[in-house]
Amino acid sequence: MLYVVGDIQGCFDELMALLDKVAFDHSKDRLVSVGDLVARGPKSLEVLRFFMAHPESCKTVLGNHDLNLLAILCGHRKAKKSDKLDAILDAGDQDAISGYLRRQPLALWFEEQKLLVSHAGLPPEWQKEQVLAASSLVSQGLQNEGWQQLLLDMYGDEPSQWSPELTGTPLLRYIINSLTRMRFCRPDGSLELKCKACPADGISQGFIPWYQFHGPLPFTVAFGHWAALEGELTRSDIKALDTGCVWGNTLTLWCADNNFFYQQPAIS
């Protein structure tokens, strides 16, 4: 079975409880995270080491918190106390953690299930081909000699509008923002990255949830990042899996093979 889990953010005990519920078997099942393995929860280091220990059965895409951790590990940012990253920063294997995260993509495609996974969703004007090509560009940047500069350059909200003429740093920043930070867009399809509200509140401010730019899709999109959605979307082709476990709500696991959902309430 292929399972997709919402934003874990250090909620290791809840993840283990969910995997126990479905009798997860590393020899035949696969687990995919929608990103944000770390930050704000109590056991980010344990989550990372679990995924690192099972590279064949456990996959992840990068979320904004994962990229921020990379920037912290290479000295570009300072950790916030609220992100609870001390255990990672005090561990003796930061280089291994950094290397692992640098090898993870922004998007994954599963042909059998016709499933696209990214942290924030599917940007306006893009289909899966653009998403996968964009993910590949960022992966190349994270794995070449200039990877630390890429992490420094990724911060900022511009350019907010997609254009096929984008190149270099502006292109990479747009890709990272659209695949790890996007929730709302403006009516012209440009990214609105400040608003983190529920859809109704964002719409009242004149913004449009990104998924409303897409008609029915010939594949399924699974994403996280937007806890205010509470996992509730009426569309069968888009699965919102961030249900705010780190905020005291639940961690959600979705089986892509039978469309079953499993939830684990926050333990701590």
Phi, psi of 143 (to 5 degrees): -110, 0
What is the pLDDT, as a whole number, of residue 79? 85
- Kindly report the average pLDDT of the chain as a whole number: 96
Confidence check: pLDDT of 75 > 90: no
Mean pLDDT along residues 128-151? 96
Q: Which of 16, 28, 53, 4 is nearest to 238 (CA)?
A: 4
SS3 189: coil
Give tens-digit pLDDT for 181-217.
Answer: 999 999 999 999 999 999 999 999 999 999 999 999 9
Residue at 11: amino acid letter: C
Q: How far apart are CA 176 and CA 164, in angstroms?
A: 15
**What does the alpha-carbon distance between residue 92 and residue 99 come to, in Å, rounded to a whole number?**
13
Q: Is the pLDDT of residue 97 over 80?
A: yes
pLDDT at 171: 97
User: Tell me, what's the pLDDT at 152?
Assistant: 93
Quick one: which H or E segment has residue 177? helix 168-180
Domains of the chain: 2-265 (3.60.21.10)
